[in-house]
Amino acid sequence: MQAADLPLHQRRRRPTEAELAGIPWLQLLQPAEYERAASHITVGDAKPGDFVCRVGRPVTYWFGVIEGLLKMSTDSAQGRTLTFTGVPPGGWFGEGTALKRESYRYNIQPLRNSVVAGLPVDTFHWLLDHSIGFNRFVMNQLNERLAQFIAAREIDRLNSPDVRVARSLAALFNPVLYPGVGEVLRITQQELAYLVGLSRQRVNEALAELQAQDAIRVEYGGLRILDLEALRSSGAAPVEVAA
């Protein structure tokens, strides 16, 4: 069997120095903490069809995206796939599950070939016990994640496809959760359609409208953010100012 045909957990390898440099929370650790964490991190080259984690499986790692794009989803009782969010480069996820050492309540799968890093859950807890910088990072993650899921529930209730696309894009450009994105998100219209739950054609129309509003610019292979606040506030009722 070729290496590419092995299950993802059997394709683990040591990270390169460049891959370690792209992990945001590592830079917050003291030297001894850094050495311990870096020596325990593994990475895997994930491809569409792989499961990074799966509903009902016990937590073994805290995961992050080095390259590529993942989707977080679950299946409803009716057999429909419900997508919660996308995870672009720089994003780490599942800290709540790792904290409680419980089973995953969602599936994580790559939408394209991706490089995924994993920190063993025991090392995750060791850092919580020993590192102030790591604790602050996880607290910020949890706080921002709560706001993200509240916003996601609001997006689910929106009837306007244009607003759904705008708000979903704003979530993917979150600088706290996804510091590796910067101003340009490498994503195709089909990938965005999967995440938003709309057709590719409808997403294309929404992106054209957002570009006309100077909120984004569609570039080859991705989207450039021009006005993040405009995306976040899209569809919000205007604030009335008293005379």
If you compute the radius of gyration of the chain from its CA atoms, what whole number of angstroms results? 19
The domain spans of the chain are 1-157, 160-243
Strand partners, 82: 74
Q: What pLDDT shows up at residue 240?
A: 44
Backbone angles phi, psi at 225, to 5 degrees: -80, 130
Q: What pLDDT shows up at residue 232?
A: 86
Check pLDDT > 80 for residue 208. yes
CATH for the stretch 160-243: 1.10.10.10
Of the candidates 204, 200, 199, the residue with the CA atom closest to the CA atom of residue 218:
204
Least confident of 3-12, 117-126, 127-136: 3-12
Q: What pLDDT shows up at residue 196?
A: 87
Mean predicted confidence (pLDDT) in 2-22: 80
Write out pLDDT tens, residues 126-153: 999 999 999 999 999 999 888 877 776 6
Q: What pLDDT shows up at residue 235?
A: 64
Q: What pLDDT shows up at residue 243?
A: 42
CA distance 229 to 233: 6
CATH for the stretch 1-157: 2.60.120.10
Q: What pLDDT shows up at residue 148?
A: 75
CA distance 167 to 173: 10
Contacting residues for 238 by C-beta, under 8 A, at least 6 apart:
none
Q: Give the pairing type, strands 92-93 and 114-120.
A: unpaired
Q: Fold match between 1-157 and 160-243?
A: no
Mean pLDDT of the residues in the chain:
87
Of the candidates 203, 224, 202, the residue with the CA atom closest to the CA atom of residue 214:
224
For residues 122 and 154, the model is more confident at 122
DSSP state of 77: T
CA distance 205 to 13: 41
